[in-house]
Amino acid sequence: MAETKKKIFLLSLGCAKNLVDSENILGILSSHGYPIAEDIDDADIGIINTCGFLQSAVKEAINAILEMIDIKKRGGLAKVIVTGCLVQRYGYKLKRGMPEVDGWIGTGELDKIAALVESTDTNAPFFIGRPEFIADHELPRVQTTPFYSAYIKIAEGCFHRCTYCTIPALRGPLRSRPLESIVLEAKAMRDRGVKEINLIAQDTTVYGVDLGIDNGLERLLEELIPIQGIEWIRVLYSHPNEIRDLFLQLMDREEKIAPYLDLPLQHASKRILKAMAREIKGETPYELIERVRSYKRGLSIRTTMMVGFPGETDEAFQELYDFVKKVEFDHLGTFIYSPEPGTHAARLKGIPDKKVSKKRRDSIMSLQARISLKKNRGMINKTIPVLIEGFSKETELLLSGRSIRMAPDVDTQVLINSGEGMIGEIQDVLITEAHSYDLVGEIV
């Protein structure tokens, strides 16, 4: 009689790239016959796919592991397995510190997960190595995002060396997936009802460089556009140094490509950008934005800014503040610099006082709230296509959705207070109200 397979629960922490790894882990285990539990109370084996690139993420991961160990001690789980960036970053130190964990996998060893789950070795097997692995369309995957929207990781790793970043050490060198593999995955997604594809990597704009493909991202988009049934294609995680006119022209010309540039600039002061090793070659941040905004379709720009970097004086911060005020981004997030052991920036002196950094972050975000409200007011009485996502998190009296200028999980939403909405459908919505971040409207 076949042995009943243990039920698996997976907690996925961190970014969308890590979520894709989690979906592959679930895919591999499902293909080995392991049922997936939606709730940890129904599971026999608990897996945490961790993030570890910032101290705050490290803390969150360790707390999650300790919680799962606690459930195991109370007999609620037979095994606890930890995977991902935290494992890659701290390696065997973790094993010594948490002997209750039954197995460990680094970022480059995902394909070892079934062997680890099946292992009877009580000495907590540890799979870690130089990250060289990249999943392709043949690796099984369980989509955990809503049926109509999915992420495709087009490359892994990074060859940039931003001085504050641990990711190259955690994820290894840039390695792009073969173009055909991405196209096949997109078609498979379309076949199961996906309408929106979000392309992700550490830096999508250098896709294909390691494979010797010139303008690889544009070539890939040209291959994805003709796929019938895929309505929206969004490119996330671009790099300010790699914004080619060819890419902008494609975004301007092709309706299917979201007119949405995810452009993490991090700062506007030349001196700070230099210290971050994120200087933009051949143009200033203002000139780059001007170039992006010169296209008639009107491209939306999302950015992230970092305050509190070593050497950030009042003048340097004022430069950033004035830049955000003048540019008026469509979406903006601001983070306080976190000195990460092992990075070049962690050795730099002159970190502003934490209180000062918090004040700077808050002043940028309250400025952005005013900018966003002004922009949203400009949308009133306009009718826009909205991807209906379901009931709003706040109340079942409202539906919520996103326009093509809003990315999943990070941006704002359109709240819908009248009309019949079909989840996963793109329907026209007349905007009737504007808030700092969200829009309100009715289906027409």
Distance between CA atoms of 343 and 166, rounded to whole angstroms?
A: 6
The residue with tokens 């601001």 is 334
- Among 251, 268, 21, residue whose Cα is nearest residue 153: 21
How many C-beta neighbours within 10 Å does residue 370 have? 12
Label residue 205 left, alpha or beta by phi (over 0 means left) and psi (-120 to 50 means alpha). Answer: alpha
Q: Residue 150 CB, nearest distance to ligand SF4 (Å)?
A: 22
Query: Between residues 24 and 202, which has the closer beta carbon with respect to ligand SF4?
Result: 202
Query: Between residues 64 and 169, which has the closer beta carbon with respect to ligand SF4?
Result: 169
Strands 260-262 and 300-307: parallel
Grouping H, G, I as helix, E, B as strand and the rest as coil, residue 103 is strand
Q: Residue 161 CB, nearest distance to ligand SF4 (Å)?
A: 6
Q: Residue 280 CB, nearest distance to ligand SF4 (Å)?
A: 13
Distance between CA atoms of 148 and 231, rounded to whole angstroms?
A: 10
Confirm if 376 and 434 have CB atoms less than 8 A apart: yes
Q: Residue 444 CB, nearest distance to ligand SF4 (Å)?
A: 41
Distance between CA atoms of 68 and 376, rounded to whole angstroms?
A: 43
Q: Residue 10 CB, nearest distance to ligand SF4 (Å)?
A: 24
The residue with tokens 């090793």 is 277
Q: Residue 278 CB, nearest distance to ligand SF4 (Å)?
A: 7
Grouping H, G, I as helix, E, B as strand and the rest as coil, residue 212 is coil
Q: Residue 277 CB, nearest distance to ligand SF4 (Å)?
A: 8
Q: Residue 152 CB, nearest distance to ligand SF4 (Å)?
A: 18
Amino acid identity, position 8: I
Query: Between residues 172 and 259, which has the closer beta carbon with respect to ligand SF4?
Result: 172
- The number of angstroms, rounded, from the C-alpha of 366 to the middle of its chain's C-alpha atoms is 24
Query: Between residues 22 and 202, which has the closer beta carbon with respect to ligand SF4?
Result: 202
Query: Between residues 202 and 334, which has the closer beta carbon with respect to ligand SF4?
Result: 202
Q: Residue 154 CB, nearest distance to ligand SF4 (Å)?
A: 14
Query: Between residues 101 and 273, which has the closer beta carbon with respect to ligand SF4?
Result: 273
Distance between CA atoms of 97 and 101, rounded to whole angstroms?
A: 10
Stated as kind and residue range, the H or E segment containing 108 is none
Q: Residue 174 CB, nearest distance to ligand SF4 (Å)?
A: 9
- Among 217, 133, 223, residue whose Cα is nearest residue 187: 223
Q: What are phi and psi of 228, to 5 degrees?
A: -65, 135
DSSP state string for 306-351: EES-TT--HHHHHHHHHHHHHH--SEEEEEE----TTSSGGG---P
Q: Residue 79 CB, nearest distance to ligand SF4 (Å)?
A: 32
Amino acid identity, position 413: Q
Query: Between residues 104 and 164, which has the closer beta carbon with respect to ligand SF4?
Result: 164
In sequence order, the β-bridge partners of residue 36 are 8
Query: Between residues 126 and 335, which has the closer beta carbon with respect to ligand SF4?
Result: 335
Confirm if 389 and 409 have CB atoms less than 8 A apart: no
Distance between CA atoms of 166 and 53, rounded to whole angstroms?
A: 6
Confirm if 424 and 146 have CB atoms less than 8 A apart: yes
Residues that bind ligand SF4 (CB under 6 A): 158, 160, 162, 165, 167-168, 202-203, 239
Confirm if 16 and 88 have CB atoms less than 8 A apart: no
